[in-house]
Amino acid sequence: MSSRTSAPASIFILTGAGISAESGVETFRDKGGIWSKVRLEDVATPEAFMRDPEKVQAFYNARRASLKEVAPNPAHRALAKLEADYAGTVTLVTQNIDDLHERAGCRDVIHMHGELLIAFCAACGAREPAREALSPQDVCPRCGKVGTMRPDVVWFGEMPYHLDRILAALGEADLFVSIGTSGAVYPAAGFVAEAKRAGIETLELNLEPTEGSFQFDEARHGLASVLVPAFVEEVLAGCWG
Ligand SMILES: [Zn+2]
């Protein structure tokens, strides 16, 4: 465990469902979450998309439409403030597919599981903004194929995005902060071990203790909308260190 002798020059932040749940975004894995009502094999795999694109598009269209009903909360806004005001480097990686970090004002968000508001052509790789519903009849604006435009979200069996950039940033960080994530989904669940191996200080901010809490140097439990602004104030005031 590193000693707090100076403010971290580089902070690596990982966010998960817990930060958006406080804005009213339905979670996937929690008790009562989406995967307790819908079989993920039916809607969140490449095979499901080939088998029943109508069903898969309808599922993600509903998620996309629901983003219009929610707004960023103080935790999202605090991270945007950190990104804007911190003298050091801030890397923000999210497992969330919503756009609440961006709407709070974050400029550089690494979406390791993709984004609901982008469509991706399974045939040619074209990416397009997708603010409204997608349909199996959609035509790719680049290659002209029909039915290949899918939500740009990482499905089960697919590789998360930006792992090279993420691991490089983690390797250069002085502090790893995990916010609102259960620590159950790999590869993100392995970041804390990676951070510890690199001798980086680690902090968990989560509603409740997680299976991985013991791996962190420090764990604080409570609402993200309370814990995250307090943490950001500490860092910006130079009290962290
Ligand atoms: Zn295409």
Q: What is the mean pLDDT of the chain?
A: 93
Could you report the per-residue pLDDT of 52-98, keeping only the tens digit for each?
Answer: 999 999 999 999 999 999 999 999 999 999 999 999 999 999 999 99
Q: How far is CA 43 from CA 31, 61, 129, in A?
A: 19, 12, 21
Counting the structural domains of the chain, the total is 2
* SS3 label, residue 59: helix
How many angstroms does the Cα of residue 144 sit away from the middle of ligand 1? 6
Q: How far is CA 48 from CA 40, 54, 118, 184, in A?
A: 9, 10, 19, 23
Same domain assignment for residues 48 and 60? yes
Same domain assignment for residues 104 and 17? yes
Domain end (from 153, 179, 209): 153
- Give me the domain span that covers residue 139: 26-69+118-153
Residue 180 sits in a domain of what CATH number?
Answer: 3.40.50.1220
Residue 44 sits in a domain of what CATH number?
Answer: 3.30.1600.10
Q: Catalogue the active-site residues.
A: 113
Same domain assignment for residues 60 and 139? yes
Q: Is 20 labeled as ligand-binding?
A: yes
Q: Is 131 labeled as ligand-binding?
A: no
Confidence band of 169 (pLDDT split at 50, 70, 90): very high
Confidence band of 6 (pLDDT split at 50, 70, 90): low
What is the reported pLDDT for 4? 52
Same domain assignment for residues 21 and 136? no
Could you report the per-residue pLDDT of 23-36, keeping only the tens digit for each?
Answer: 999 888 888 888 88
How many angstroms does the Cα of residue 182 sit away from the middle of ligand 1? 35
pTM of the model: 0.94
Same domain assignment for residues 208 and 230? yes
Residues with CB under 5 A from ligand 1 (ion): 121, 123-124, 126, 140, 142-143
Q: Is 96 labeled as ligand-binding?
A: yes
Same domain assignment for residues 194 and 231? yes
Q: Is the pLDDT of residue 131 over 60?
A: yes
